[in-house]
Structure 1
Amino acid sequence: MTFSIVGFDPKEKEWGIAVQSKFLGVGAVVPFAKAGVGAVATQSYANTSYGPRALQLMEEGKTAEEALEIITKDDPEKELRQVGLLDAMGNPATFTGEGCYNWAGGMTGPHFAAQGNILVDEKTVQAMGQTFISTEGSLAERLLASLNAGQSAGGDSRGQQSAALLVVKEAGGYGGFNDRYIDLRVDDHPEPITELIRIYHLQQLYFAPSKADRVAAIEGAVKEQLVRELVRLTYLEAGKGDEQLLKALTAYIHTENFEAREQEAGKIDLDVLDYMKKQ
C-alpha cells in the first residue's frame, strides 16, 4: 500500500526518503537514515528491523546490495517484504518479494531506489525515477517532486492517507546537534503529499538561512509595509518611532520562531515580511 523513493546528493552529502501510503502514520514505519552511512525504506508488511540492521551493516562497510542480501536471506516472510536502500556512496538496491500484492516492483538509477506495492501500475515507480533524474534543486525538493510525480502517474491503488520526508546530513539537525536535517510527517490527510510539500516550504522558511538577495534595509516602502503589518498584528502601536519598531519586529520574530532569519538591527528578511502579509 506504499510507494517510496530513497535518494542521495553526493555534493551536499545528504541521504533521504520520501514516502506515501494508504496507511496511518507511514513516517513512523518506513524511513530510516544515518548521515555518512545510508538510507532505507522498508515497506509491504514492513519488517522494521531492516532499517537499523541495514544501516549497521552499511556503517561496517557493506554495500547496499550486500546489506540487502544479508537482511533478507534469513527472513521467513521475505517474499512479503519490499525494501529500497542506498549506501554511503549512493549505490542503490531494491527488493520486492514475490508475495507482494500487485502491482509491486522497483527500479534503481544513479543515486536512487524507487519502489511501490499495491500500485495502479508500474508507471508510478517509473515516474518517480525519471523525475528524480531530471529535477533540479535540493535533495528534499527532488524527492518531493518524485513522490508527487508518482502520485500523478497513478499512485497507491487504494488511495492516499499519509506521507513523510526524512533527509539527514552531518550536523544538519536543529542547533547542529544531530543529523535530522529535515524530518516531516503528515499522518492522516486526504492529500498528504500536497500537505507534505506545504509544510516542507514552512520548514524552509523557519530554518533555512536567509538568502542575501532577500535581505533589505528597513526604509522606504519596506519600512511602510513592515509598520503596517506589525500594527495590524498588534505588535506595534501606530505612530511609534524607529526604536519601538525594531522592538516590535524582534518580538514578532521570536514569537513566530524566525530566529534563524533574524538580521542585524535595521534590516529584515523579506521572506519574513511576506509571511506577515499572509497571516
Structure 2
Amino acid sequence: MTFSLVARSADGRLHGVAVASRFLAAGALVPAAQAQVGAVATQAHANLAYRAQALALLRTGVTAADTVAGLVTADPGREDRQLAVVGMSGDGATWTGPRCHPWAGGQAGDGWAAQGNILTGPQVIDALRDAWLAGGDLPFPQRLFAALVAGDRAGGDRRGRQSAALLVVKRHGGYAGTGDQLVDLRVDDHPDPVTELSRLLDLHTMIFGRPDPATLRDLTGALAAEVADLLAATGHPVGPTGLDEALAAWSGLENLEERFVPGRIDPIVLAHLRQCAAN
C-alpha cells in the first residue's frame, strides 16, 4: 500500500525517508530517523516497533543488512511486512515478505533503499532508484522528494493516492539549531498528496532555510530606502532604533526570523516583503 525511499547524504550528515501511499497518514506510521544514526521505513503490515528497534541496533554499530535480518527473523509476522534501513555507512537494506500484496519488492545500494507494495509494477522502484541516483546536485530534502515524485509519476500505489511525507534529520539542523529535525512534513489525506507535499516543502524552505551568504545584499543607499518604504507600507515604519530593528520585527511576524541578517537582506526576504507591501 506504500512506496518509500530511505537514504543517507553523501557526507553521512543527513538521513531521511520519503513515502507516499493510498493510506491515511502514512507519515505517522512509516518513517523514523535519528541524526548521525540512520533512517527506517516500516510498511505493508507495518510493525511500528521496528522503528525504535532498528535505530537502537544502528546506534550500536550493527549494519543495515544485519539490522533488517535480525528484526525480521525475530518477527512471526515478517511474511506480511516490508522494512528498509540505512545506517551511517555502507549499503542500505530492504525486506519484502512473500505475502505482501503485489506488486511488491525493493532494491538497495550505497546509502539508500527503495521499496513498495500494492504498486502498479516494478517500474515504480526503478524510478525511485534512478531519480535518487541522478539527483546528487540537489539539496538532500529536494533529492529525496524528487525520487518520490518519480515513483508517483511511474504509477505509485495501484489503488490511488492519499498521503505523503518527508522526514529529514541532521544534528542541530532543526529550528534555530535547537533540534535535529531538519524537515518533518506530512500530507495526511489529499487527492494529490505528492503535489501538496511539494508546496509544503517550498514553503518550508522559504521559512526555515538559512540565507546564502553569497546572495545577501547590503542594506545601503537606494535598497535601504526601498526596504524602509516597503516596511512602512506593511505597517512597520522605521523608528528611532533603525532599519534593522524594523526589518527584524516584520521578519519575525512573517516567520522569516531564520533569514534575518543585520545590515543585509536575503533576496527571498526582499521578494516576500515586496509581495506583502503590494498586497
TM-score scaled by length of structure 2: 0.91
Tell me what 1:196 maps to: 197
- How many percent of aligned residue pairs carry the same amino acid? 41
Tell me what 1:272 maps to: 269
- CA offset at residue 224 of structure 1? 5.7
Q: CA RMSD in A?
A: 2.0
Residues 149-191 of structure 1: per-residue CA shift (max 9 Å, x gap): 0001111111111111111122222233332122111222222
Residues 31-80 of structure 1: per-residue CA shift (max 9 Å, x gap): 01112221100001110111111111111121111111111112222111
SS of residue matched to 2:166: strand
Distance 2:51 2:161 in 1: 24
Q: 1:278 and 1:100, CA in 2 relative to 1: closer, same or farther beyond 3 A?
A: farther
Q: Where do 1:237-256 residues align within 5 Å?
A: 245-256=243-254
**Contact between 1:214 and 1:271, CA under 8 Å: does it hold in 2?**
no
**Contact between 1:218 and 1:268, CA under 8 Å: does it hold in 2?**
yes
Distance 2:28 2:235 in 1: 39
Tell me what 1:37 maps to: 37
**Structure 1: segments with no counterpart, 5+ residues:** none
- CA offset at residue 8 of structure 1? 0.6
1:85 corresponds to 2:85? yes
Distance 1:226 1:189 in 2: 39
SS of residue matched to 1:213: coil
Residues 11-37 of structure 1: per-residue CA shift (max 9 Å, x gap): 151111001111121111000111222
Distance 1:262 1:116 in 2: 41
- CA offset at residue 245 of structure 1? 4.9
Q: Where do 1:82-121 residues align within 5 Å?
A: 82-121=82-121
Q: 1:37 and 1:247, CA in 2 relative to 1: closer, same or farther beyond 3 A?
A: closer
Tell me what 1:53 maps to: 53
Q: Which is further off, 221-230 or 67-76? A: 221-230
**Contact between 1:37 and 1:58, CA under 8 Å: does it hold in 2?**
yes
SS of residue matched to 1:212: coil
Q: Which is further off, 23-32 or 165-174? A: 165-174
**Contact between 2:12 and 2:89, CA under 8 Å: does it hold in 1?**
no
**Contact between 2:20 and 2:164, CA under 8 Å: does it hold in 1?**
yes
Tell me what 1:16 maps to: 16
1:137 corresponds to 2:138? yes
SS of residue matched to 1:75: coil
Q: Which is further off, 55-64 or 244-253? A: 244-253
**Contact between 1:7 and 1:139, CA under 8 Å: does it hold in 2?**
no
Tell me what 1:158 maps to: 159
**Contact between 1:38 and 1:90, CA under 8 Å: does it hold in 2?**
no
TM-score scaled by length of structure 1: 0.91
Q: 1:148 and 1:234, CA in 2 relative to 1: closer, same or farther beyond 3 A?
A: same
**Contact between 2:176 and 2:258, CA under 8 Å: does it hold in 1?**
no
- CA offset at residue 234 of structure 1? 3.0
Distance 1:72 1:195 in 2: 34
Q: Which is further off, 170-179 or 151-160? A: 170-179
**Contact between 1:8 and 1:90, CA under 8 Å: does it hold in 2?**
no
Distance 2:46 2:208 in 1: 32
Distance 2:178 2:271 in 1: 30
Q: How many residues align?
A: 275
Tell me what 1:260 maps to: 258
Tell me what 2:75 maps to: 75
